[in-house]
A and B are shown apart, each in its own frame.
Chain A
């Protein structure tokens, strides 16, 4: 435990050095995009992993964030640093609008409602052509600037997404390890029992939903300035499904699990890009194989494996 700060230091140095070691533009692009997926996966895990709310429309909230940023910067020429938090808040406001009426739905029904909502967002973006230019999308989103510095190189975007991701992970970590987090776990494990203990479950569920989608909006906002072009097809239903699968693949409610899940689901198909056509084939196979062998995800599987070798603590086997 005394060496903890050392681990943090080494980890920090590695993260800091990555863009200076990797010079290949393509790999840097991969790493930056993975960072964005990780943000989405971690915020998804806050919603799904901590309270068990099935959200099958996470990408739609990212789309809301991306469009808010794009429109504010293109039409009103606002600074990115104003558009970024507003995108998060916008996505959170939309989620409040969706969340309050759907909060009494449970499990799959909530999943279907969020899925239906995400498709309505996509259709709205397509149809509301006077503002969103419909299927043509919004090109030429300006690069963010800070004083005289312009975020243009891959390195600068790397540090930006790193900061955003660390901020997300930090916030989620603080939420999970707080009084609220304990209430959330209680709700996930047994909502009726939690209510009987005096936990206002609806309030907590909405809170988590809103906070989680806030980060989705931020991730979408980053995507908008990084790629500088967005269209309704930038955030598809498939993306929502992938974001949903990431924490489950890695191991829910663990914070590290969603990061692993995002890494695997995003990097694996890209790494096999030699067989470009086949890449999604691997994703499909991977999802099925993991689910039928490790229903608790990769981390869950590792833990079971470790438990077999670990000496039971104080004579009581850790569950």
Chain B
């Protein structure tokens, strides 16, 4: 393959994996925007979502689309359940208990991982998505239909989310809650309901991302939430925690850096690039690429 084609090929691969990171990063950034803590359990919600899909596909009654929708719904419910059980009770103590929620999130994360290991074992499962992947070849490039599916799904979901947050009443309520929870409550916004909706949306996005990764690599395993989760929250930080467009752009950027880095610098250090980006971001621009301006763009 010519150097130029190879570069373009790697960029395409990076975009594909990056759009999955973006989907997962949205869950981190939206929750952070409202509650001010990193939901460490989000990576495991991503994993649980993929396992839901695996089970639904395994029954044989569902095709990939149906399983995707089913898994997304179930994961949305699971996300809300986690919020209600593990985070909502902490909020009743008032402000300044973000670290308490952090520990609670660590607890949820450990719980979900162990549960998945007990139910499905520690081994890697094939998703058997049933997608008949076709490789398109042109100009020396190789693009599979799964890659196109991932990119399109990612872009569509992100556009829908953006419209939802900026154009609907519920979206406005979400933005208001993120700006000032107390004031939002005084204005008659059901803050707990809005937070539950936020968790539901984040979890649905994570489940879709998980199904996409599962179909792409044909691998589902209980610890898959760790690496994906960490890259996604790196994306959330790079984008500026709390900023939805930031998370979208940064997720794709992380995917690109990681793919290009492992192709041209060191493939063994593949998972390390995200951390270097994380540290550099924190050192040199802690507010991220998209500094959420007060009252705008920040969920």
**A242: B residues at CB distance < 8 A:** 106
A116 in contact with B111 (CB, 8 Å): no
Interface residues on A, range: 35 or more
**A293: B residues at CB distance < 8 A:** 89
B272 in contact with A295 (CB, 8 Å): no
Distance to closest chain B CB from A242 (angstroms): 8
Nearest to B88 among chain A residues (CB) is A292
- Assess whether A18 is interfacial by the CB under 8 Å rule: no
- Assess whether A306 is interfacial by the CB under 8 Å rule: no
Nearest to B109 among chain A residues (CB) is A284
A95–B125 CA distance with the chains assembled, in angstroms: 40
Nearest to B286 among chain A residues (CB) is A109
* Cross-interface CB contact of B272 among A119, A277, A281, cutoff 8 Å: A119
Distance to closest chain A CB from B118 (angstroms): 5
Within 8 A of A (CB), among B54-78: none
- Assess whether B124 is interfacial by the CB under 8 Å rule: no
A292–B93 CA distance with the chains assembled, in angstroms: 9
- Assess whether A271 is interfacial by the CB under 8 Å rule: no
**A288: B residues at CB distance < 8 A:** 85-86, 104, 107-108, 111
A245 in contact with B282 (CB, 8 Å): no
Nearest to A236 among chain B residues (CB) is B226
Tell me if A's interface is mostly helix, strand, loop or mixed: helix
**B233: A residues at CB distance < 8 A:** 112
**B164: A residues at CB distance < 8 A:** none
Within 8 A of A (CB), among B103-120: 103-104, 106-115, 117-118
User: Contacts A109-B286, A238-B110, A292-B89 given: A116-B275 contact, CB under 8 Å?
Assistant: yes
- Assess whether B213 is interfacial by the CB under 8 Å rule: no
Within 8 A of A (CB), among B266-290: 266, 268-269, 271-272, 275-276, 278-279, 282-283, 286
Within 8 A of A (CB), among B22-49: 36-38, 40
- Assess whether A186 is interfacial by the CB under 8 Å rule: no
The segment from A33-41, A100-108, A139-147, A221-229 found at the interface with B is A100-108
Nearest to A108 among chain B residues (CB) is B38
User: Contacts A113-B278, A280-B113, A281-B115 given: A108-B98 contact, CB under 8 Å?
Assistant: yes
User: Contacts A108-B38, A113-B278 given: A102-B283 contact, CB under 8 Å?
Assistant: yes
A143–B101 CA distance with the chains assembled, in angstroms: 42
Interface size on B, residues (CB 8 A): 46
A112 in contact with B103 (CB, 8 Å): no
**B279: A residues at CB distance < 8 A:** 113, 116-117, 120
**B99: A residues at CB distance < 8 A:** 54, 248
**B38: A residues at CB distance < 8 A:** 108, 111-112
17 residue pairs from A and B, CB less than 8 Å apart: A101-B283, A105-B282, A109-B282, A113-B279, A123-B271, A123-B272, A123-B275, A238-B110, A248-B103, A277-B114, A278-B114, A278-B118, A280-B113, A284-B107, A287-B106, A288-B108, A295-B93
Interface residues of A (CB under 8 A from B): 54, 101-102, 105, 107-109, 111-113, 115-117, 119-120, 123, 126-127, 237-238, 241-242, 244-245, 248-249, 277-278, 280-281, 283-288, 291-293, 295
Interface residues of B (CB under 8 A from A): 36-38, 40, 85-86, 89-90, 93, 97-104, 106-115, 117-118, 226, 230, 233-234, 237, 266, 268-269, 271-272, 275-276, 278-279, 282-283, 286
